[in-house]
Structure 1
């Protein structure tokens, strides 16, 4: 089962598999999400998934059985 992931504000959509890391999905879609520690502590990779709220992309995977997701990217000028 594939899940469509839509990245805003670029309006890029890509298909992903459950369990696939969000950073990997974004990279495959040509989307760059800033990273720092890659452990979720620094919050550099924080994105907003409309259906869930704020998550850290470096430690979040596409959940099984989820509907299509929309991810809002925002930038922090300090990263």
Structure 2
């Protein structure tokens, strides 16, 4: 099952499969999400979903039960 994923602020949309790692989806869309530890501890890859939740994209995947997902990237000049 695929869903449409929109990355903001670049306004880039790509189709993704449920369960696909979010970092892989972003990379395929040409969207760079900064990473640090790749284990969810440093929060360098933190993004905000359209439901207001903040998640670490390095340990997150495309959720089930959605037809569209909007992901907003944060800008942290220290990373």
TM-score exceeds 0.5 = yes
**CA distance in 1 between partners of 2:17 and 2:25 (Å):** 9
Where does structure 1 differ by over 6 angstroms across 4 or more consecutive aligned residues?
none
CA RMSD of the aligned region, Å? Answer: 0.9
For residue 55 of structure 1, give the secondary structure of its aligned residue in structure 2.
strand
**CA distance in 2 between partners of 1:69 and 1:51 (Å):** 9
Give the gaps of 5 or more residues in structure 2: none
Is 1:60 matched up with 2:42? no
Relative to the length of structure 1, the TM-score reads 0.95
Q: May I ask how many residue pairs the two structures share in their alignment? A: 79
Work out whether residues 51 and 69 of structure 1, in 8 Å CA contact, stay in contact via their aligned partners in 2. no
Give the gaps of 5 or more residues in structure 1: none
C-alpha offsets along residues 18-77 of structure 1, whole Å, 9 cap, x if unaligned?
A: 000000000000000000000000000000011251000000000122230000111101
Work out whether residues 18 and 62 of structure 2, in 8 Å CA contact, stay in contact via their aligned partners in 1. yes
**CA distance in 2 between partners of 1:6 and 1:70 (Å):** 5
Other-structure match for 2:43: 43
